[in-house]
């Protein structure tokens, strides 16, 4: 009996040490402080955070009307946009505005209108053509861009709102490049994509640069993790289950061992 409870105590201490150790490890191994973009308020962060459907729809509008001229979204299928609150007919109509390259019955290249199960088609046939259209630079696919940068949400918000400042003397901005202190090296080959009033939101929200940047970041967070809300719901259910089971097992243990001193 004695030995048994010692083993349990040892186990608990080891688990605690692992948990505390890994939290500490994560806290102190992130990017050094001066690279961290200023944190914004995101309603979808945190254990209970959910996406705001109106913001997702506005963000999709910004992507579609602005970013989609240069950035692809290859990992998202039209039908997935149902999560943003679009109806099936709306999605069908949207998909049909895209043309999808296929091989026809005789094996020749052909095109057909998109259907809901298609993914957003590529803008250019390959990387070479993409670079040719972008002054040699490569606009990254945006499906997972939020996950591909540290502090993705805050970083992209800061990047999109970081234009328009005068570069310090030690930065020589190259031809076809733009000063943006958020980008590593202080310059980027993307012209400032947003200006006030660039899109017209149907819900009456004022389309300032900062508003559009926030909305498109919310949309890109969704494209990077469409299953986020399910994941959090499952996580909470599992925690609740474990809590209930812990109480039951503790009560059972007390009952079984109550006569053993
Ligand atoms: C006219 C073309 C064009 C448009 C429109 C455009 N981009 Fe870009 N974007 C680029 C290019 C080119 C690059 C690569 C820049 C580089 O490597 O210097 C880029 C890079 C980026 C990056 C990566 C920065 C990094 O850390 O490497 C992000 C994020 C981004 N764009 C977001 C957006 C968003 C969001 C929009 C819409 C609001 C948008 N872009 C609209 C051309 C464009």
pLDDT tens digits, one per residue of 43-65: 999 989 999 999 999 999 999 99
Q: What's the whole-number mean pLDDT along residues 84-104?
A: 96
pLDDT tens digits, one per residue of 8-19: 888 888 888 888
φ/ψ of 54, rounded to 5, equals -65, -40
pLDDT tens digits, one per residue of 136-150: 999 999 999 999 999
Classify burial at 11, counting beta carbons within 10 Å of its beta carbon; exposed 0-12, middle 13-18, buried 19 or more.
Answer: exposed
CB 99 within 8 A of CB 122: no
Instruction: Check pLDDT > 70 for residue 30.
Output: no
pLDDT of residue 260: 87
What's the CA-to-centroid distance between 141 and ligand 1, angstroms? 9
Q: Ligand 1: residues whose CB is within 6 Å?
A: 62, 66-67, 69-71, 134, 137-140, 145, 149, 156, 159-160, 183, 188-191, 193-194, 216
Kindly calculate the radius of gyration of the chain based on its CA atoms and give it in whole angstroms: 25
pLDDT of residue 10: 86
Note the pTM of the prediction, 2 decimals: 0.86
pLDDT of residue 29: 58
The preferred substitution site among 71, 142, 157 for testing ligand 1, maximizing ligand atoms within 8 Å of CB, is 71
Which atom belonging to ligand 1 lies closest to the Cα atom of 216?
35
- 122: its two tokens: 């590529």
pLDDT tens digits, one per residue of 125-136: 999 999 999 999
């Amino acid at each position: 009996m004695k030995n048994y409870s010692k083993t349990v105590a040892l186990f608990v201490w080891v688990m605690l040490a692992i948990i505390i150790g890994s939290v500490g490890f994560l806290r102190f191994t992130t990017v050094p402080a001066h690279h961290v973009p200023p944190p914004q308020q995101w309603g979808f962060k945190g254990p209970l955070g959910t996406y705001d459907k109106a913001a997702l729809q506005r963000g999709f509008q910004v992507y579609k009307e602005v970013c989609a001229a240069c950035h692809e979204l290859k990992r998202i299928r039209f039908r997935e946009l149902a999560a943003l609150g679009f109806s099936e007919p709306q999605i069908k109509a949207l998909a049909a505005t895209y043309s999808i390259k296929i091989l026809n019955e005789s094996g020749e290249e052909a095109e057909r209108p998109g259907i809901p199960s298609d993914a957003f088609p590529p803008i250019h046939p390959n990387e070479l053509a993409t670079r040719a259209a972008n002054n040699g630079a490569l606009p990254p696919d945006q499906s997972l861009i939020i996950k591909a940068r540290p502090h993705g949400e805050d970083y992209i918000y800061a990047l999109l709102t970081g234009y328009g400042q005068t570069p310090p003397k030690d930065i020589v901005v190259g031809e076809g490049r733009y000063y943006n202190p958020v980008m590593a090296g202080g310059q980027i080959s993307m012209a400032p994509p947003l200006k006030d009033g660039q899109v017209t939101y149907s819900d009456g929200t004022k389309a300032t640069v900062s508003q559009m940047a926030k909305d498109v970041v919310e949309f890109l967070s969704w494209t990077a993790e469409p299953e986020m809300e399910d994941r959090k719901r499952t996580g909470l259910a599992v925690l609740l289950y474990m809590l209930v089971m812990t109480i039951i097992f503790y009560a059972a243990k007390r009952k079984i061992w109550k006569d053993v001193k």
